A and B are shown apart, each in its own frame.
Chain A
Amino acid sequence: DIVMTQSPDSLAVSLGERATITCKSSQSVLYHSNNENYLAWYQHKPGQPPKLLIYWASTRESGVPDRFSGSGSGTDFTLTINNLQAEDVAVYYCQQYYRAPNTFGQGTKLEIK
Chain B
Amino acid sequence: QAQLVQSGGGVVQPGRSLRLSCEASGFIFSSHAIHWVRQAPGKGLEWVGIVWYDGTSKFYADSVKGRFTISRDNSRYTVDLQMNSLRVEDTAVYYCARDRGGDGYNPADYWGQGTLVIVSS
**Do these two chains interact?**
yes
Contact of A52 with B109 at beta-carbon distance under 8 Å, contacts A44-B45, A104-B44 already known:
yes
- Measured CB to CB, the closest approach of chain A to B28, in angstroms, equals 18
Q: Are A50 and B47 in contact (CB under 8 A)?
A: no
In the complex, A106 has a CB within 8 A of chain B:
yes
Q: Are A97 and B46 in contact (CB under 8 A)?
A: no
Number of interface residues of B (CB under 8 A): 24
Q: Are B47 and A101 in contact (CB under 8 A)?
A: yes
Question: Smallest CB-CB separation from A104: which chain B residue?
Answer: B45
For chain B, what secondary structure do more than half of its interface residues adopt (helix, strand, loop), or is it mixed? strand
In-complex Cβ contact of A93 among B45, B104, B106 (8 A):
B45
In-complex Cβ contact of B46 among A52, A61, A104 (8 A):
A104
- Give bound CA distance, A104 to B112, whole Å: 18
Number of interface residues of A (CB under 8 A): 24
In the complex, A100 has a CB within 8 A of chain B:
yes
Q: Are A97 and B105 in contact (CB under 8 A)?
A: yes
- Measured CB to CB, the closest approach of chain B to A52, in angstroms, equals 5
- The residue in B44, B105, B114 that gathers the most chain A C-beta atoms within 10 A of its C-beta is B44
- Give bound CA distance, A71 to B95, whole Å: 27
- Give bound CA distance, A44 to B93, whole Å: 13
- Measured CB to CB, the closest approach of chain B to A19, in angstroms, equals 18
In the complex, B50 has a CB within 8 A of chain A:
yes
Please give me the 4 A-B residue pairs with the lowest Cβ-Cβ distance, nearest first: A49-B111, A100-B59, A55-B107, A107-B44
23 pairs across A/B with beta carbons < 8 Å?
A1-B62, A40-B108, A49-B111, A50-B37, A50-B45, A50-B97, A55-B100, A55-B107, A93-B44, A93-B45, A97-B104, A97-B107, A98-B105, A100-B59, A100-B104, A101-B47, A102-B35, A102-B50, A103-B47, A105-B44, A106-B44, A107-B44, A107-B45
